[in-house]
Structure 1
Amino acid sequence: MTTMTGTGPARPLRADAARNHRRIVEAAAAAFESEGPDVALEEIARRAGVGVATLYRRFRTRDLLIRAVLEEVFADEIEPTAAPGTDDPWADLTGSLSRAVEAIAGRRTVLRLAREAGAFDVESVQRYGRTLVRLLDRARDAGAVRPELTARDLSALLVMALAVAEGGEGADDTTGEDRRRYLALLLDGLRPGHPPLPASG
């Protein structure tokens, strides 16, 4: 395993350090979602089964821990949603978007903390975006989506879908059924046969 230090490129971790790193990151991801964004680092260390001094050695600040959690969540839960799995380009594209929304909906607190900390990893987002573009190109070549669709359109669709997933005021009232219903409405707009989209600015 490698990790970002916040001062330079990634470097390999020793086996014991790598185990502690992963235990802390997994414990933090679970604690943020179950206990809220203000959960104490001491509680995260307790859940990880390490001393708080070990946590501080690995992550000098809360923001560095949040960055590591986001990297882990993105790599393990979000990027894999973009893998094609069938011979149906429409099913692969829309299935990927649906799985991404569900994965992100389960990590609302982590993503909110990451935005506040400016912790989004550009490389991970770009890698996910490139995979999504390949699915879009495949669906466009098959005539399964509007020919004028762009990667930017898919990004906007995800933002709109995630606005439903994240809710805001009354977010607890947003159910999985709500997310799937509203996402289905958004995905229908990708199909061919609708009036052409206005030109993108």
Structure 2
Amino acid sequence: MSTTGAGPARPLRADAARNHRRIVDAAAAAFESDGADVALDEIARRAGVGVATLYRRFRTRDQLIRAVLEDVFTAEVEPTAAAGDGDPWADLTGSLTRAVEAIVGRRTLLRLARESGAYDVESVQRYGRVLARLLDRAREAGVVRDELTTRDLSAVLVMAMAVSTSDDDGPDPAADQRRYLALLLDGLRPGRPRLPEPSTAPPA
């Protein structure tokens, strides 16, 4: 995901990098504490920068949401995919489960991301690539469908995120989260018929 939407990212000057970090951190905290409608000038105040500085870095609210979501994935989700050397099925599904657990506490941010289109299958492709070794081990052990790709795992994560941030939560959202994640993970197991062929989009 690009934080600017204006081509390849260029290295930031030290002062610009500090401002970027302050704004992203302040936005993440503000979205969760004050809700989706927190004003951008309040985020700038919390970050200790001027509103003009915020708008130089992020021309739209959606770009700021994308930057915060990318930061959450980098800091909290990608580390859950550290390759293990234990049971291949437990390592793979454990990683996916921990990833979901890492992000469901960010309900306001994820709702904003969903409403703005800031995440979809492509926005978690990098995480899918980190999962590649775990998927390879699970395929070699015969504990998952041999036609699975890392793009499929990215889609599973997106679906789990959508369920976990649904506005139709039951009386025990955590129980629903576990139930539907278990249902999604069960679909990874070997089975017949084979999955339909994917689209022509390149695999992760």
Alpha-carbon separation, structure 2, partners of 1:182 and 1:8? 37
Question: Which residue matches 2:201?
Answer: none
* Identical positions, percent: 76
Structure 1 pair 156–13 and aligned structure 2 pair: CA distance change class (3 A): closer
Question: Which residue matches 1:104?
Answer: 103
Alpha-carbon separation, structure 1, partners of 2:150 and 2:193? 14
Question: Which residue matches 2:161?
Answer: 162
TM-score by length of 2: 0.79
Aligned residues: 196
Question: Which residue matches 1:22?
Answer: 21
Shift of 1:23: 1.1
Structure 1 pair 31–95 and aligned structure 2 pair: CA distance change class (3 A): same
Contact kept? 1:164, 1:174, Cα under 8 Å = no
TM-score by length of 1: 0.80
Contact kept? 1:148, 1:197, Cα under 8 Å = no
Question: Which residue matches 1:176?
Answer: 174
Shift of 1:59: 2.0
CA RMSD, 1 decimal = 2.8
Contact kept? 2:30, 2:43, Cα under 8 Å = yes
Amino acid at match of 1:62: R
Give unpaired runs (5+ residues) of structure 1. Answer: none
Alpha-carbon separation, structure 1, partners of 2:96 and 2:88? 12
Structure 1 pair 182–126 and aligned structure 2 pair: CA distance change class (3 A): closer
Give unpaired runs (5+ residues) of structure 2. Answer: 198-204
User: Which stretch of the first structure deviates more once superposed, 146-155 or 127-136?
Assistant: 146-155
Shift of 1:160: 3.8
Question: Which residue matches 2:65?
Answer: 66
Alpha-carbon separation, structure 1, partners of 2:155 and 2:133? 17
Secondary structure (helix, strand or coil) at the match of 1:9 reads: coil
